[in-house]
Homo-oligomer: A and B are copies of this chain.
């Protein structure tokens, strides 16, 4: 079985760990969000790709859900002693090595997709991890009010809004700068087209999955497949992170039904919601989307695997019911 997953960071990585456990023999391709990528200290940091790579490769900090296990912070402290900023992004020494290795290859002209493949040779994540694009797409946030330390109250890099400002300053708009002229990375469209189903993990629908879908060609390719998503909202609250702040910026309510309606029936065929959100099945905005309710909290690997299994079961039902392309159909 071939499965393609559009993943952000922590939520996507945990879902993927469950998916691998649920279907060990599947060929899984992960299209990772790179809109959050940021240059820090002259180094190219790819937070979402790294979270997936570290999580599936066994190098993640389990407590945090991101960053390396057993981290130390010598380099960051030393950089602070030089007055080199920013200090608000907590890069550990082990993590720094990844960014040094990545940046070194990028500077030699190696595209991000090939760099990611090289880094994955160490981590052996058991999936094919692709960045959504080799071009630079930057998720930026237009602040609704002047941010602390912001001169014009203009736009800031997503990471600055998310990490430095804790998304406490409301976002007026979320922009994917560069997306319009970006192309899917080599293999991305092919993996989507060859997939038996495309899964959307409970990643941030705006800045993670949304950034990936903003790359021209990806949304169209995904829409042509059987697509099952997992709600990142349980009982009106994001399972993790501050997705509500992102949803508010694009005028979408923080409910499982509203997120599915935002994706739309053109993209989504199936939608897994938590038991407490089962009334989403009756939401008229979700016509054409098959909603199924189950416990959605990814407490542990077993729970994540159960959710992944439910997504695959629903996708199989939808495929056999004609809800999407037949496996292997020409595209």
Contacts and interface: CB of A to CB of B under 8 A. Distances in A.
Report copies per complex. Answer: 2
A96 B72 CA distance: 14
A112 B78 CA distance: 20
Contacts of A76: 97
A74 B101 contact: no
A329 interface: no
Contacts of A81: 97, 122
Shortest Cβ-Cβ A-B pairs, 6 listed: A78-B97, A42-B104, A74-B93, A82-B101, A84-B101, A75-B97
A100 B42 CA distance: 7
Contacts of A94: 74-75, 78
Contacts of A93: 72, 74-75, 78, 93
A98 interface: yes
A83 interface: yes
Interface of A: 41-43, 72, 74-79, 81-84, 93-94, 96-98, 100-101, 103-104, 107-108, 118-119, 121-122
Contacts of A107: 42
20 contacts: A41-B104, A42-B100, A42-B103, A42-B107, A43-B104, A72-B74, A72-B93, A74-B97, A75-B96, A78-B94, A78-B98, A79-B100, A82-B97, A82-B98, A82-B122, A83-B121, A93-B93, A96-B96, A96-B100, A100-B100
A146 to B, nearest CB: 26
B75 A104 contact: no
A143 B122 CA distance: 35
A43 B78 contact: no
A62 B161 CA distance: 43
